[in-house]
């Protein structure tokens, strides 16, 4: 076997491989001979078919089969011989397949890049810190109270916070528009669930009143035909109801699974849940910060074949998750940016794992599974489910490995802390409203 290697653009490599003719011929003859005792051809007794006849009838298919296997086997040997690390499937093109002459073919593929990690001590990482304050627990209880709020019908004019049941008929330029008509719709005044100006127009109105008002759709409204348009809504009030929040008492605590009805126990449980969510959020934010800085510092070339493969995976995941309506499919090209980032990050993380000799620690895997399980009604059942499913557990091991990589980098890097409140960290959209 003769092998020559040519470097193409970027990570591309071309291997020209030549195999002696006798290697192919010998294997072809061996297979044809073994077929003589098995083939049935009219005019010949079983096992007595001349080799020339077998060769004439089956030779082309056997040659094709042998050539395919020889190319695969010799390519594998050539890759090992030349110390190459292919990324993705190779493209194989035969250049000479004449009987009695050497078999020659060209294999084109990309290789994994050689990565020389930047010293992690040069990375500057901002670590977000936060804690659950008593006021955060109180805010959460207020939220739970609002979620359990009921409404009692009253005989008075409406005000902010009331729930009104209305019929409305909307029109633009005197013409009804799709979705602009509805009956018995509940609207809570001040909730911001309707377009700007709609809820304000319902204030100080009583059951039975019929009236019309004008509002304008926002310029960024989701329906293209209504963006920025002025609309008139003919409206009838069916009922006005005032909010009635539950008392923070024993019954309220029991409704959240606190068997003894203790408010202190309820607050403790709520704090525990919030602290678990906070730990996960802080870990998520730190991971993104660290991995972004790691990838930025190690700008490695990424094999196109791996980008294409990952883009296909992302496209498939979106389809399976039902994020595209009506079975529509987005072009794979739209996923290439994220795919390139993921593949590049995976390559760099893999290098960190090798350099730091990181392995998934059993106790950390167990702790991660138990932490996930705490969010379910029966944690022990969830733990058993993960431990009995190798594929699921493997996913947790990969997650733990990634967290260990982040911890290792944080230990090496220059880290500065940035304090945030629980609310600002958990509700970033509230800081930058659209």
What are the structural domains of the chain? 2-111 (3.30.70.1050), 120-134+261-430 (1.10.3120.10), 150-244 (3.10.50.40)
Measured distance CA(5)–CA(234) in Å, rounded: 78
- The 10 Å CB-count burial string (b at 16+, else e) for 198-230 is bbebbeebebeeeeeeebebeeeeeeeebeeee
Helix (H) or strand (E) holding 219: none
Helix (H) or strand (E) holding 7: strand 2-7
Position 39 scores a pLDDT of 75
pLDDT band at 430 (very low <50, low <70, confident <90, very high): low
Above 90 in pLDDT, residue 43?
Answer: no
Helix (H) or strand (E) holding 173: none
Percent of the chain topping pLDDT 70 = 95
- pLDDT digits 0-9 by tens, 279-338: 999 999 999 999 999 999 998 999 999 999 999 999 888 887 765 555 566 788 899 999
**150 three-state secondary structure:** strand
pLDDT band at 434 (very low <50, low <70, confident <90, very high): very low
CB neighbourhood size of 332 (10 A): 15
Give Cα 93 to chain centroid, integer Å.
36
Choice among 96-100, 157-161, 189-193 with the minimum mean pLDDT: 96-100
pTM of the model: 0.74
Position 52 scores a pLDDT of 75
Position 113 scores a pLDDT of 93
Position 328 scores a pLDDT of 61
The chain-wide mean pLDDT, for the chain, equals 90
- Residues belonging to the chain: 434
Above 90 in pLDDT, residue 79?
Answer: yes
Q: Write phi, then psi, for 245 (nearest 5 degrees).
A: -80, 145
């Amino acid at each position: 076997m003769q092998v020559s290697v040519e470097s193409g653009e970027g990570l591309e490599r071309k291997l020209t491989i030549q195999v002696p003719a006798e290697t192919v011929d010998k294997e072809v003859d061996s297979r044809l001979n073994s077929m003589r005792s098995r083939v049935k051809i009219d005019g010949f007794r079983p096992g007595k078919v001349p080799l020339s006849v077998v060769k004439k009838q089956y030779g082309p298919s056997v040659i094709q089969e042998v050539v395919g296997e020889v190319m695969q086997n010799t390519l594998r040997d050539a890759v090992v011989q030349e110390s190459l690390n292919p990324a993705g499937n190779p493209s194989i093109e035969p250049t000479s397949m004449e009987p009695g002459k050497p078999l020659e073919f060209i294999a084109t593929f990309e290789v994994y890049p050689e990565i020389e990690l930047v010293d992690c001590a040069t990375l500057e990482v901002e670590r977000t810190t936060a804690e659950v304050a008593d006021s955060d627990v109180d805010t959460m209880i207020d939220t739970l109270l609002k979620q359990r709020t009921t409404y009692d019908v009253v005989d008075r004019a409406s005000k902010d916070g009331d729930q009104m049941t209305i019929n409305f008929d909307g029109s633009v330029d005197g013409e009804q528009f799709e979705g602009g008509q509805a009956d018995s719709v509940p609207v809570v005044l001040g909730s911001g669930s309707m377009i700007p100006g709609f809820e304000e127009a319902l204030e100080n109105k009583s059951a039975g009143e019929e009236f019309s008002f004008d509002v304008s759709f926002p310029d960024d409204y989701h329906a293209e035909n209504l963006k920025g348009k002025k609309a008139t809504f003919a409206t009838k009030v069916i009922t006005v109801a005032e909010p009635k929040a539950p008392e923070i008492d024993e019954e309220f605590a029991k409704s959240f699974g606190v068997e003894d009805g203790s408010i202190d126990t309820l607050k403790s449980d709520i704090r525990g849940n919030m602290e678990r969510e906070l730990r996960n959020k802080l870990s998520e934010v730190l991971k993104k910060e660290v991995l972004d800085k790691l990838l930025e510092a190690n700008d490695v070339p990424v094999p196109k074949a791996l980008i294409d493969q990952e883009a296909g995976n992302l496209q498939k995941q979106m389809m399976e998750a039902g994020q595209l309506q009506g079975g529509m499919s987005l072009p794979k090209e739209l996923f290439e940016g994220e795919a390139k980032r993921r593949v590049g990050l995976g390559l760099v993380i893999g290098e960190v794992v090798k350099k730091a000799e990181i392995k998934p620690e059993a106790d950390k895997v167990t702790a991660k599974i138990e932490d996930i399980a705490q969010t379910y009604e029966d944690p022990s059942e969830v733990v058993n489910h993960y431990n009995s499913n190798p594929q699921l557990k493997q996913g947790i091991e990969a997650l733990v490995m990634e967290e260990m990589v982040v911890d290792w980098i944080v230990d090496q890097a220059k880290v500065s802390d940035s304090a945030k409140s629980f609310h600002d960290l958990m509700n970033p959209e509230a800081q930058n409203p659209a």
